[in-house]
Structure formats: C-alpha cells, structure tokens
Structure 1
Amino acid sequence: MAFWQRARAALVLLFALAAAPAAADEAPRLAVVSAFGPELALLRQAVQDPVTQEIAGIDFVTGTIGRHKVVLFLSGISMVNAAMSTQAALDHFKVTAIVFSGIAGGVDPGLAIGDVVVAERWGQYLENVLARQAGDGWRLPADKAAEFANFGMMFPQGVGIARPGDVIEHKFWFAADPALLAVARRVAAGIDLARCTLPGTCLDHQPRVVVGGQGVSGQSFVDNAAFRAYVFDTFKAQVLDMETAALAQVAYANGVPFIAFRSLSDLAGGGEGENEIGTFFAFAADNAAKVVLAFIAALPTP
C-alpha cells in the first residue's frame, strides 16, 4: 500500500511539474515588435545567439543585438492581436522598452513612399460612435460628444481605460517616450535610406526619417483618398496603421516606454492607380528596420 501511495505521489508531482509554467526570463530586454514576417526579417538576422520559445501561440526570440538583450516577436496584424501579443511579452519577459518596426500608409501629403516616421503620439482613430441620421445631418446619443470632426456618420472617440479604484480614464493620444524620441532624433540625420527595391524599382526621391507628429491606428486597411484627407485634416496625422496605438495603450497601462518606427509602403489611397503596398512593403519594412538597428546601437549601454 505504501508503494502505491509513493507512486501516486510521484505521478502527482510529475504532472504538476509538467503543467508548471517555464521559469520567468529575468534578463532586462528591449522588446522589438513587428506585425508580420517581412517587417521583422532584417531585424531577425541581426540577433546573435537566438533562442525561440512559444508562448500562447507566439514565437518569442531572445538574444542580443549589439550590446542589448532583446526579445523579438510578431504582434500579428490589427489591434487585438497587437494588444494581446504585447501584453504576453510584458507578462513573460522583463521588458525595459518596446520598439515597433514596420510599414504604414502615408497620410501627410508632404511625405512619400519609403520615408520613415517616428511619431510623438498615437491615437485609435477608428473608435467611433456611428451616429443616427437626422435630416441632412447626424445626431449623437445624449451621453456622447463630438470629440473630433466626423466623417459622415463616424464620430471618433477616445478610449476608456480601467484604472485602480474602478476609475475609467478617458484618453485619445498615447505618447511615445521622450527619451527614446531624443535618441531617434540623434540618429535620424545619419541614416542613408534605400531608394530602390531589390528588383530594381527605384523611387524618384530620396527617403528620409521624420521624427515627430502624430500617427493613428485602427482595424481597417485604408485605400481611400477622401478618408485619407479627412485623417490628415482632423488628426494632423503623418501616418496610419493597424497596430501601433493598441501597443501604445498596453505600454501606457503597464508603465513601459515605447516608440514606433513606421516606413511608408503606400499612400492610403492618395496615390495614382493601384495601392502601392504590393510593390513597396518589403522595401519599406527594411527601411524601418534599418533605422531601428541604428536606434538600438545608439541607446545607452544597459
């Protein structure tokens, strides 16, 4: 009887160990994030001694880039994926700052394909009230206000963030970290961005790095000239994408610094002919990654 009790106890312990989560990674790491594979390719090549572990269906790659310990991962495309994967990274790694590298749609008419934008703040511009039509106009519910100019029935709103004490904080803009932006400004002038894609398609301008301004994020891919103009006029945005503001909210809620580098792969419907992303997404992704690598190299030694 004692034998079977000991055997049962051993099995219980074995199953408990098998079910226990892996030991937490306590090394301070810079989280480097992209939405999909081509955005992360150049950065992945720069990682020394990479180790991959899967958590909640996401591959996290730890290692070093230069003097800095890093954890790289793909957020997945769109807002929920970005929020979910970023929180998973913060829960399992000791993240000192979050850096997003990827592509975006250009909104500011003064920018061009290949340019890299490092916005100072990000908003979730597709958090909307879809208003009721009233005659020739629109009527909001009594408990809602027009925070920004509307686009037809769409009235953009800030997000409500749960805070301690059952408090809901209303917020639209999420700021990138000032110290990280200062590093980005220092390296921007010394970056020579690519002008030609690998197959030999060259732009008629030299791409540049722009630090400052606004970016907006939402669940929709935008390929509409009228909506692009509205976004520029209303939010004074330089770029739009589908992930950064969600990541920024998670960073804010957790008190972790963040910054995003977004290179223009298309003009969000503002160009002539077909949307340009099919031609320029890999080229733009590499331009963003090139700036990120210079940025990481310029960060203070941990």
Structure 2
Amino acid sequence: MTVGIVCAGDEELAPFLGLVKDWKITERAMLKFYQGAFNGMGIVVLFSGVCKVNAAIASQLLIDVYGTDIIINSGTAGGMNPDLKIFDTVISTEVCYHDVAPDILTEFHPWMPSVFFLADSRLVEKSKAAVKKLKLCGKVIWGRMVTGESFITDEGRQKICDKFAPLTVDMETASIAHVYYVNRIPFIAIRCVTDTADHNGVENFEENCARASAIAKDITVGLLNEISGE
C-alpha cells in the first residue's frame, strides 16, 4: 500500500521530512516528490503549491506516477465556524467548492449527486481512533470544509457561512477531493486552524502556520499508524 500526502506549502510539508531518513526524491511537473517507507507501507509526500489547479496536478501525478492507494491532505486552514479557535483542527467528512456554480458538478462531468465530495468513511473512523491516542493543544472536530481561490474578506465570509455552514476554508482541499473522487480512491483532509474571523489575514496565517502544520502532521502520522495496523 502507498499513501500520498499533499500539503499546500513548504512550511506544511516540513514537519513530515523527519519521518524518513533516506527519501527518494523525484521531480515531475516542477514538483518535488519525497518517496519513502513508514511502518511497512510506502508514503509519498509533497507540497503542491497554493491554489486548486496546483493541488489537482499534484494529486493526479500521485495516482498516475506513484500509484497511491489513499490520499491525505494535511495542512492549515482558516476557521469559519465561530466555535473554532486557532490551533483547533478539522478533519473532513465532506468538502465542496464555494466559488463554483453548483450545477457544474451535478449536471456535467462527474455528474455528482450533490456538490459535496465525501471523505472516505473508513479513514474518518480511523482518524477518530488516532485522535483518541494523541495529546493535542486544541480540539479536533469532524465536518465540512470549503475551498476557493482567494483569501476571504469579512463580507465574503458571511456569504459562505450562510450558504455552506463550513467549519474551515482553504484553497486546495476540494480540488484534491475532486481528483480522488473521479479516480475512486479514498481521501481525507486534516487541516489545523491558523486564523479566524477575529484573527484573520495573511499575517495571522504566517505567524501560526508552523505550529498548525506540526499539529496537522501529528494527526496525519497517527492516522498512518492506524492504517498500517490493519
């Protein structure tokens, strides 16, 4: 079994690089893929770059070139639910785009039954088992994420909350889920909150990214341990 781990940025990738001593590093499409072994299974990790298309390119390459059987999206996100605080973590149960017309996906390829890409139920349950064994500085919630192509303004935040009631927002997760939906490969996302409505903006993301990335990595590694224990 091979598990692919996609991070958006290099700071989100960095905590994973200590997992393996001797990575095999290859490059495709201007992306650097780190291949190694962890707990008896193969892992391939990379940062895709920010935005939907970059994440989709990385995801399809993980399937076509590296033969991944499972994908985990690990990294950071903006908190949309008022109950979330910085360094809380959300694990996806479903994901959608907030900036794509809904009938694009339901009336055309891939003819989805709704706008939501569902996380793999088995991975969701394994993530719950993993979290029970970890000591984390923030709480962990399972629920809905949304993805769009820009940082959210106060006005835009309210519109998205009214329409989708998401826990978090980011720029990649739905596109990764989209790729794995059409390829019928299990997917889950683990995103730690770097900014909220009360503490928003690029400066908050930059200040909190390293710690949030490490939290997401710890949960991801816990999930890998659960998967390898099957």
Taking structure 1 as the reference length, the TM-score comes to 0.71
- For the pair shown, the structure with the greater C-alpha radius of gyration is 1
Compared CA separation, residues 237 and 261, structure 1 to 2 (3 A)? same
The separation in 2 between residues aligned to 1:115 and 1:102, in whole angstroms, is 12
C-alpha separation in 2, matches of 1:35 and 1:293: 17
Give the counterpart of 1:218 among 148, 157, 160.
148
Q: CA deviation at 1:158?
A: 4.7
1:229 Cα offset (Å): 2.6
The reply on whether 1:183 has 2:183 as its aligned counterpart is no
1:192 counterpart = 2:135: yes
Matches within 5 A, 1:229-248: 229-248=158-177
Structure 2 gap ranges (5+): none
Specify which structure has the bigger relative contact order, considering alpha-carbon pairs within 8 angstroms and separated by 6 or more residues.
Answer: 2
**Which residue is equivalent to 1:92?**
65
Shift of 1:258: 0.4
The alpha-carbon deviation at position 171 of structure 1 amounts to: 4.2
What per-residue deviation string (whole Å, max 9, x for no partner) do you get for residues 195-219 of structure 1?
Answer: xxxxxxxxxxxx11112x2100011
Cα distance in 1 for residues equivalent to 2:104 and 2:140: 29
Residue deviations 1:37-92 (CA, integer Å, cap 9, x gap): 01011112112431001112211111012232101111211001111111111110
Q: Contact (CA 8 Å) 1:125, 1:157: kept in 2 or not?
A: no
1:162 equivalent among 109, 124, 127? 109
Q: Aligned match of 2:12 in 28, 35, 39? A: 39
Kindly indicate whether the alpha-carbon contact (under 8 Å) linking 1:124 and 1:158 is maintained by their aligned counterparts in 2.
no
Partner amino acid, structure 2, of 1:187: A
Identity %: 28
* Structure 1 counterpart of 2:176, one-letter code: L
Residues in 1 aligned to 2:199 and 2:76: alpha-carbon distance in whole angstroms: 19
Partner Cα separation in structure 2 for residue 57 and residue 246 of structure 1: 19
Q: Which of the pair is proportionally richer in helix?
A: 2
Q: 175-184 or 277-286, which moves further after superposition? A: 277-286
The residue aligned with 1:119 is 92
| Residues 125, 273 of structure 1: alpha-carbon distance in 2 compared, 3 angstrom cutoff | closer
Number of aligned pairs?
A: 228
Structure 1: 4+ residue segments shifted above 3 A: 168-171, 272-275
Paired letter, 1:159: L
